Structure 1
């Protein structure tokens, strides 16, 4: 599996919640074995897809999970669609199955209008265009608090475990 996070992108952010949560899961050894973590990719419409696609071509993982921060959300969101000028592309992953036994996770049909959505759309498009044997998911992570972090960590660890056990 390939797992990615973004760098902070606003002046008031000392860190990115998605990156912080992945680091927490790494410290707790809750990232599936064999996962490559590509941390702090630039929040750039041009550079983010290039960085992720290059790693995808290099590793050819069965699953890529891109994680981004969503400051105004309170739940972890599994994004169903990446949207672009030509319409929407849908992940082929079984989102409903990934939600089983989670506490603060939901499915979202809107990955936003910023770099997260752009990256997801480009990633889903490349997978379809080149017939790569890879499935993709974008996960939006809300700001972390001492109360929410354990719940979010539980949910994301469970989802990553399920994704890590998918057969190519």
Structure 2
């Protein structure tokens, strides 16, 4: 059976829980759209997250990769169109790093487009009754960092493995604990991710 590497992140900043971690743990080991889901949780650390996901790729040898990230404040599920070759944040990662504007790879391209079917993902998520739209910026924090790391890694290896990133809103549980955030039920967040996986094809 084909394998899909699904990643989430640990809690970070002022968010005491991370629904991406909960979704990955829920879907890990399940089968959908011809894939077995291999789930991994990444550290919120500029120095380690890229290395960790590449280790998982080398171990799993996935046929597709989807990374999930929390976008606290967004009210839609948003597949990301492009990753940029840039780290910059005034907010610390979980190890205290605050990159002040630097390329992820000095010789890498300025941007790399997702190789996931982002338009089809939005269509199927909406067809299932959930709000969704393509996002044209993954920011310059860890989500963009991981997305770029994966896309650049596959490009260096001349591999056409479908890969990219999806941002999700807060869960109700997180909104209650954090306050003042648009939120979905964890069940609906997981259902939207499952719907997105259903349109990821492979050779």
| TM-score bracket relative to the smaller structure | 0.7 to 0.9
Distance 1:87 1:4 in 2: 24
Which residue of 2 is the match for residue 3 of structure 1? 6
- Structure 1 residue ranges without an equivalent (≥5): none
Give the aligned length: 163
RCO higher in 1 or 2 (8 Å CA, sep ≥ 6)? Answer: 1
Normalising by structure 2, we get a TM-score of 0.72
Partner Cα distance (1:107, 1:63) in 2: 19
Asked whether the equivalents of residues 2 and 37 of structure 1 are also in contact (C-alpha less than 8 Å), the reply is yes
Q: Residue deviations 1:111-166, cap 9 Å, x none?
A: 01101101111111111111124121111111112772243332211112322xx1
CA distance in 2, matches of 1:64, 1:54: 13
Aligned to 2:193: 156
Q: Please, which moves more after superposition, 100-109 or 44-53?
A: 100-109
The residue that corresponds to 2:52 in the other structure is: 51
Is the 8 Å Cα contact of residues 24 and 40 (structure 2) preserved in structure 1?
no
TM-score (norm 1): 0.86
Structure 1 segments (4+ residues) deviating >6 Å: none
> Structure 1 residues 118, 59: closer, same or farther in 2, change over 3 A?
same
Q: Is the 8 A contact 1:83 1:117 kept in 2?
A: yes
d(CA) in 2 for partners of 1:26, 1:107: 25
Give the Å deviation of 1:55.
Answer: 1.0
Question: Are 1:127 and 2:117 counterparts?
Answer: no
1:89 to 112, 115, 118: 112
Unaligned runs of 5+ in 2: 86-102, 104-108, 174-182
